[in-house]
Amino acid sequence: MTSPFSKIAALFPGQGSHALGMGLDIAAQYGAAAEVFAQGQQVLPALGEVIEHGPLQELTLTANQQPALVLASVAAYRAWYARTGLIPFAAAGHSLGEYSALVASGALSLADALRLTHKRGKLMQQAVAVGEGAMVAIMGDAGAVQEVCSGIEGVQPANYNTPSQTVISGQKAAVEQAVTELKARGLKAVPLKVSAPFHCPLMQPAAEGLAPDLQAVPLEPMQFPVIANVTAQPVSDSAQVPDLLTQQITASVQWVKSVEHLREMGTELFVEFGPGTVLAGLVKKIAPEVRVVNVGTAQQVAEFGNWEV
């Protein structure tokens, strides 16, 4: 396929984009995606059953949801590549999605990504006792969020999602104090139903638990750079990946800067691979002028290339 866009950036979603049956229609119609699910069956034998039949509560468990999203996202990407032959010039993934992006780039094997994210999910769930932490989405100026969090120990910005949406994370009491101060400044707060406070220092035990696995995993040369969540800078040397993925567990996700950097690099089309449209929505709020399409169903794979849409 010939594309009118010479610079396509691939995006991969993180937790919260999951859905029962995700990716199965693509696997039914595209051999490349079927191979992804077959490999997933070999690595994590119960995962395919949970994706197909649930229950949703089981799929939502962090240790299942993380590898399941990698599986569905990579399946969509490989089906798209098999159909179009197009290669992105860069990629980025939101939190967990960074693993999917690294698989797409060739740095990380699918099997290793599934093993790592399964363990990552378990470790993140175990790091903090239920009820001790919290995450809240704050609607309003990100600068105000940063300022308030810097004055309260035990809470920090976890995800800079858009210029007007920042998720904060940390110890429950500290998060509640930050919310009170931010509301007093006129900002809105929406508590998130999450199983643990991600992307904050409370996740340090998970980072320490996963670090040896990340250091030991075999890595290959990257076909294209991946924007790191921690730095919002492109990574072209796979040797940097283990340290960045370790830091990512406790550090803020710099999504706004990541998208802005991709724009500065000349991105002409963003393509979100995998279930849901969360990242497409965030990108539109960060850079309203850009073109974004979703490839998360067999129909969307087939329709890609209708450049008028």
Quickly tell me which residue has 């007093």 as its tokens. Answer: 184
Query: 17, 18, 73, 95: which one is catalytic?
Result: 95
Rounded Cα distance between 230 and 242, Å, is 12
Question: Dihedrals φ, ψ of 42, to 5°?
Answer: -70, -40
User: Is 53 among the catalytic positions?
Assistant: no
Question: Dihedrals φ, ψ of 291, to 5°?
Answer: -95, 130
Rounded Cα distance between 54 and 60, Å, is 9
**Which amino acid is residue 123, in one-letter code?**
L
Is the separation of the CB atoms in 78 and 297 below 8 Å? no
Rounded Cα distance between 207 and 213, Å, is 10
Compute the half-sphere exposure of residue 231: CA atoms within 13 Å on the CB side of its CA.
13
User: Is 236 among the catalytic positions?
Assistant: no
Query: 100, 199, 252, 261: which one is catalytic?
Result: 199
Strands 133-139 and 188-191: antiparallel
Residues noted as catalytic:
95, 199
